[in-house]
Amino acid sequence: MKILFIGDVVGKLGRRAVAALLPKIKEDYEPDVTIANAENLAHGKGITSQTLKELLDAGVDFCTSGNHIWAKPEGHAILAKKDSPVLRPANFPEGAPGSGARLLSVGTRSVLVINLMGRVFMKEHLACPFRTLDAILAEYKTKKPNAIIVDFHAEATSEKNTFGLYADGRVSAVLGTHTHVPTADERVLPDGCAYISDVGMVGLKNSSIGVEYAGIVQTFLTQMPGKFEVPETGLAILNAVLLDIDPATGKTRSIMRIQQDCTI
């Protein structure tokens, strides 16, 4: 079973880059399902119905998210819909709209997708992601999914690495998101869990994690609030990982980073 996971898609440039590059990536690698982190779809923060439609029309099957998913009021309604194609982190407090885990049917097989957020250096007050993972795995144990994919949306590499080792042997992959910078530590852990600290992003290549450089550098130089612009055109980069999973065991055979550019 092959699963393609795309890093945080940032704004219109990111959406357009997915539309431009994903068809050929899918032709080349033939994934059974394609997942993307969508928390930055709408001008860098949050989602709307239109931006989500663009991503799904481009060939993405399902979406995860993170702390910015609440930035647009429309996103709350999207998450609250039954069978929404977007998850929010499962360890948000009770009462938050949406779901943090979903069992997807992929032909005759099933994939459990779990979305969790880390707590180190994050301002939100969330339940423990480690214990939340335990609870979700217990809830879905009788479903016997062929693969289990965790989007771990977190800041600290120490927390991400620890979480990956904690989940090893129980899930197929722990894929880090949030920092928008791809890491070179992709590997299969001893008990068959694929791991990477951060998949990366889809957005402006020569930028500050998808945002125009000019406004960001002024904030660093002066410590005054700057104007953060999310570009709509330019040289875009797409970061993703391709997983090859044994559906009989749920263990991952390999994880491969994908990085491609295009000018929009």
In this predicted model, what pLDDT tens digit does every residue of 186-206 receive, in sequence order?
A: 999 999 999 999 999 999 999
177 neighbors 40 (Cβ within 8 angstroms): no
Q: Which residues contact 256 (CB under 8 A, 6 or more apart)?
A: 186, 241, 242
Report, as an integer, the average pLDDT of 58-68. Answer: 97
pLDDT-based confidence at residue 101 (cuts at 50, 70, 90): very high
pLDDT tens digits, one per residue of 203-212: 999 999 999 9
pLDDT computed for residue 215 by the predictor? 87
* Structural domains for the chain: 2-263 (3.60.21.10)
**In a 3-state reduction of DSSP, which class is residue 7?**
coil
pTM here is 0.97
Q: How confident is the model at residue 145 (pLDDT cuts 50, 70, 90)?
A: very high
> Nearest CA to 200 among 234, 230, 177, 184?
177
Q: Would you name the residues annotated as active-site residues?
A: 68
Query: Band of the pLDDT at 64, cuts 50, 70, 90?
Result: very high
Q: Check whether 227 has a pLDDT greater than 90.
A: no
